[in-house]
Amino acid sequence: MHKKSTLLTICSSFSMILTTVMFTQSTLAVEKPWQKFSSTPLIFSYPQNSWKKPVAKKVDAVALENPDDKPDGVAPTHQELTIDPVGLKIYLIPTAEQKLTAGEFKKRYPTVVSAAGELGKILKTTKASGNSTPSLPWEDASTPFEAKKSQLKFANGKAVRYIAEYLIEPDVVDNARLVYTAQGLTDDGKWYISVVAPIKTKSLPDKSDISKWPQASYKKFSDGFSNYGHKVGQKLEKLASASFTPDLSTLDRLVQSISIK
């Protein structure tokens, strides 16, 4: 009886080990491998099984012609990378040009110089806070909140990461305009990196439409918009990274894989 009991114990142990090995192999099989991508001088990694290969393009320079003009699209020649189906964008923007003096560059591309200067000051602090992180490409809009805000380090620089919703006028916060963004600088200050990806969460409506609201209702909403935006930001702050699609940790991993050679 003792020998039979021992044999049963050994078989049971072997079965458990085999089950563990098979489970581990199964888990590894479903993990999504990351692929390194290079578009000189930018290098980063992305989940190749669920995302398509990044597409890089050169964006020609657009200088500000008149100081009173809106700086839509104003930037020196830079790279723009797109990753579908998530619609993620990476912008690699130089903060200076050899052929231009610092003054000439600032005159042509004031939004880039301003954003780089402001971001540089923020990145020197130990903790990301506040609600005024610069963002490139420039757009004539603002966000009522910067939730889930933190600093991320990459190979030769740092970035401020947060989620936001850029609006021209007071509006209901929804998934249609919600974005993850990471605004970064290389340690030498020569490159500005902007990562922007549309995200969504079940905690927000997919799309809002205030066009049919009575004027009085919209005025009341507009008057209290600052408080409303603050509350939405607090709500999003409490959500876990996995409550968003894509998972914020996946987007963070991409940012942290960035290096400029």
SS3 125: coil
| Amino acid sitting at position 208 | S
Domain spans, the chain: 1-31, 33-260
pLDDT at residue 129 in the model: 62
* CA–CA gap between residue 202 and residue 58 (Å, rounded): 36
pLDDT at residue 126 in the model: 66
pLDDT at residue 125 in the model: 84
pLDDT at residue 17 in the model: 45
* CA–CA gap between residue 146 and residue 163 (Å, rounded): 6
Task: Enumerate residues 6+ apart whose C-beta is below 8 A from 160.
Answer: 119, 122, 123, 128, 133, 149, 150, 151, 152, 182, 183, 184
* CA–CA gap between residue 113 and residue 75 (Å, rounded): 10
* Structure-block tokens of residue 127: 């903790």
Q: What is the DSSP string of 195-219?
A: EEEE-EETTS-S----TTS-HHHHH
The values of phi and psi at residue 118, to 5°, are -65, -45
Task: Enumerate residues 6+ apart whose C-beta is below 8 A from 158.
Answer: 123, 151, 152, 184, 185, 187
CB 161 within 8 A of CB 244: no
pTM score, whole prediction: 0.86
* Structure-block tokens of residue 7: 């044999």
The burial of 155, by beta-carbon neighbours within 10 Å (0-12 exposed, 13-18 middle, 19 or more buried), is given as middle
Single out the residue of 41, 43, 80, 87 nearest to residue 60, CA to CA: 80
pLDDT at residue 211 in the model: 87
* Structure-block tokens of residue 121: 């000051």
DSSP letter, residue 73? T
Task: Enumerate residues 6+ apart whose C-beta is below 8 A from 143.
Answer: 131, 164, 165, 166, 167, 229
The values of phi and psi at residue 12, to 5°, are -65, -45
Using 50 as the pLDDT threshold, list the residues of the chain that sit under it.
3-4, 6-11, 14, 17-30
Output the CA torsion sign for 255, 44, 72, 103.
positive
